Amino acid sequence: MNERKIIHVVAAVIKKGNLILATQRGYGDFKGMWEFPGGKIEDGEDKKEALKREIKEELNASINIEDELCTVNYAYPDFDLIMDAFMCTLNDDKLDKVYHNDTELEHEDYKWLTTQNIEEVEWLPADIEIVNKLKTNQR
């Protein structure tokens, strides 16, 4: 029996006032769906180091990590995802579209949403748990 692959990632819930950043995936199986930016933790990195590196790589932005929001465990068809989400703020308002593997954009688009209109985009399945937490917490 094959062991299921486990992927451990970090995600940034970036706030600006009452707005929350959503990014539209620009590549892969879930291209066009929306997610909180972030990515895989590399060997030897702690979660916060990984998150700062991923946001720099994906959005060419610098963040301040405030606190951990939640951990999502989600079973996709091909792997199990563990996603640690952190509340963050931008150190400045600069966000850039960055290329993934020099071919497709990491994110096709991004939007600032409120907890009232956060469901107007189609979120990746694992990110829906974070969306629901944000709506109930009204943080």
Supply the pLDDT for residue 93.
82
Strand-strand pairing, 5-16 and 79-90 = parallel
Res 69: pLDDT: 97
The whole-number pLDDT of residue 137 equals 79
Nearest partner of 70 among 115, 22, 121, 126, judged by Cα: 126
pLDDT in tens, the chain (139 residues): 568 999 999 999 999 999 999 999 988 889 999 999 999 999 999 999 999 999 999 999 999 999 999 999 999 999 999 999 999 999 988 888 777 667 777 888 999 999 999 999 999 999 999 999 999 875 4
- At 39-71, the pLDDT tens digits run 999 999 999 999 999 999 999 999 999 999 999
Q: Which domains are seen in the chain, by residue range?
A: 5-137 (3.90.79.10)
Cβ atoms 106, 100 nearer than 8 A: yes
The predicted pLDDT at position 101 comes to 67
pLDDT of residue 1: 57
Residue with tokens 């400045």: 92
In the prediction, which pLDDT does 28 show? 87
The contacts of residue 54 (CB under 8 Å, 6+ apart) are 10, 12, 37, 38, 39, 40
* Per-residue pLDDT, 35: 97
